[in-house]
Amino acid sequence: MVAQASFIAALMFYVGVIYTGAYYGYFHLSPFALGFGFGEFVLHSLHLVTFPVLVGAAALFFVVAIAGHQPHKGLHGVLMRSAGRGASALARHYLIVVAAGLLLLVLWWQWQVLLPYRWAGPLLVGFGLVLGVVRQAGLSRPRSPWETALLVLAAGLFLLWAVTLVSGQLGERNARNDARNVTLRTGLVVHSAQSLSLSSWAPGLRHRDLGAGVHLRHRYEGLRLIVERAGRYYAVPIGWRARTDNVFILREGEGVRIELTPGVQ
C-alpha cells in the first residue's frame, strides 16, 4: 500500500506540475519561480478531475474490465454479453486500435485542426496496448513475461503522454478563460509615493495624482490579481493580452501600499 500511495502521489505531483506550468505559463510566469511546493502541485492536479475525464476513464476501465469475461444469464447477462462481445472484439483486434492511434499521431503534426484533440492519439495507442495485455492473459498459451512487460510499459508511457497533454491543455484553457474574464478576479489598488510609470501603455489602468500634500500621492486602479507569493503581487491590467502585454510584479514597501478589492463584472 505504501508503494501504491507513493506512486499515486508522484503521479498527482507530475500532473500538478504540468497543469500549473501551462496555467501560469500563459501569464508568462513559472510555477517554480513562484515557489510552489509539493502539496500545492498535488492539489492543483485535482483540476483534472472533471466530468468528461471521469466519464472517459470509467468507460475505458469498463471496457478493459469486461473484456474476456463471461456474463451470467438473464436480462443483466444479455446486456453484459453484448458489451462483453464488443470488448472481446476490441481485444482481439487491439492492433487496429493501436494503428488508429498512430494515425492520429501522424495527422496531429499535419493538421492544425486536430490540435485540441492531440491527446486522442496517445490515448488510443495506450488503450489498444492495454487491450493487448488483457487478450494475452486470456490465451491458453500466453506469451513470455518479457513481451507482456514490454506491452505494459509501452501502454503506461502512452497513457502518461495522454494525461500530460490533457493536463497541459486544461491548464492553458483555464488560464485563457480567466484572462478573458479578468475583471472578475480580485482587484488591486496601488498607492505610491513615487510615480510607478505603469499607465503609459497598460489598457484599462487608471492613474490619479492626489497632489503634493499627500504622501502616497499616486493611485493606480484597474489591476487584477493573478497570484500572490511571498509578498509579491503578480497582476495584470483590465484588457490584458497574453501575446503582447506584460505582467506587473508589485511589492509593498515604505513608499507603496497595496489594497485588495472585489472583482467587478
pLDDT score at 5: 82
Q: pLDDT tens across 7-47, in order?
A: 889 999 999 999 999 999 999 999 998 989 999 999 999 98
221/142 Cα distance (integer angstroms): 70
Instruction: For the chain, give the mean pLDDT.
Output: 83
Every domain of the chain and the residues it spans? 50-179, 182-261
Output the nine-digit C-alpha cell for 246: 506584460
pLDDT score at 85: 64
C-alpha 18 chain-centroid distance: 6
Q: pLDDT tens across 136-164, in order?
A: 665 545 566 777 788 888 888 999 999 99
Q: Which residues pair with 189 in a beta bridge?
A: 259
Strands 232-237, 187-192: parallel, antiparallel or unpaired by DSSP? unpaired
Cβ atoms 75, 102 nearer than 8 A: no
Q: pLDDT tens across 242-265, in order?
A: 888 889 999 988 889 999 998 775
Contacts of 30 (CB under 8 A, 6+ apart): 21, 24
